[in-house]
Amino acid sequence: MAIVELVIIFIAFPLLFYFGVVPVPKFIPLVVAFFYALIFLLRNKGFTNQSWKIKNRNLLKGILLRTLFFIGVTWLLTFLLLPDRMFFLPKKNLKLWVAIMLFYPIWSAFTQEVIFRPFFFQRYAKIFKRGKILIVINGLLFGFMHIIFHNWIAVAGATVMGLVWAYTYSKHNSLLAVSIEHALVGNWIYTVGFGYFFYVPDFY
C-alpha cells in the first residue's frame, strides 16, 4: 500500500502535470498532498518538539554557510549567463516580488518540506530502511517533482538541494531547519533572477 501511495504522489502526479493531463493550477495537488501528509503526521504524532527546534549551533551555522555559498554561486551564474534577468523580478514587479518574499516561505517551502521530509521519512522508512538509500530516493524524487516546470535547470537544482535537505533532516530531525533553508534559497532564487525557471509570470 505504501509503495503504491509513493508512486501516485511522487511520480504519477508530476508526470500528469508534465504531460498536461490535469488542467488545474499546480498549487492544487501541493495543497492536497500537504493536508494528506499533515493528517498522517498528526495522527501518528509525527510532529515532535524536535521538529520545531534547532538545538545544534552547528546546524544553524551550516544553514548560513550553505545559503551564502548558494547566493554567491547563483549570483555569479546569473551575472555570466543571464545578465538580462539579474534582479529582474524586484525591478520589474516590486509588488509581486514582495508577495513572493512574504508567502513563499509558508505557501511553498514549508508545505513542500512537510511532504518531503517528516511525512516521507516516517511513511516510507520501512521500505528503504531509513538511511542513505532513503536520503537519495528522497532527494531524487524532490528533483523529479520539478519536471512540471519543463526545464532541466529546475530539476537539477532541486535535486541537489533536495539531497542536501534530505540529509539535513535525516541527521537532525528538524522540520524548522530545512524549512528555513528552503525559504532562504527559494526567496533568493526569485530575487536574483533564477525564478524564471520555477515560475514564469506573463511579463518574463
Return the residue matching grid coordinates 508512486.
7
Report whether 161 contacts 185 (CB < 8 A). yes
For residue 179, which of 107, 74, 123 has the smallest C-alpha distance? 107
Per residue of the chain (204 residues), give pLDDT as tens: 899 999 999 999 999 999 988 777 878 889 999 999 999 999 998 888 889 988 888 999 999 999 999 999 999 999 999 999 999 999 999 999 999 999 999 999 999 999 999 999 999 998 987 689 999 999 999 999 999 999 999 999 999 999 999 999 999 999 999 999 999 999 999 999 998 898 755 544
Q: SS3 of 54, please?
A: coil
Q: Where are the domains of the chain?
A: 2-45+58-197
Report whether 91 contacts 83 (CB < 8 A). no
| Spatial separation of the C-alpha atoms in residues 185 and 76, rounded to whole Å | 15
Contacts of 96 (CB under 8 A, 6+ apart): 89, 201
| pTM, two decimal places | 0.94
Q: How many CA atoms lie within 13 A of 145 on its CB side?
A: 25
H helix or E strand, kind and range, residue 14 = helix 13-18
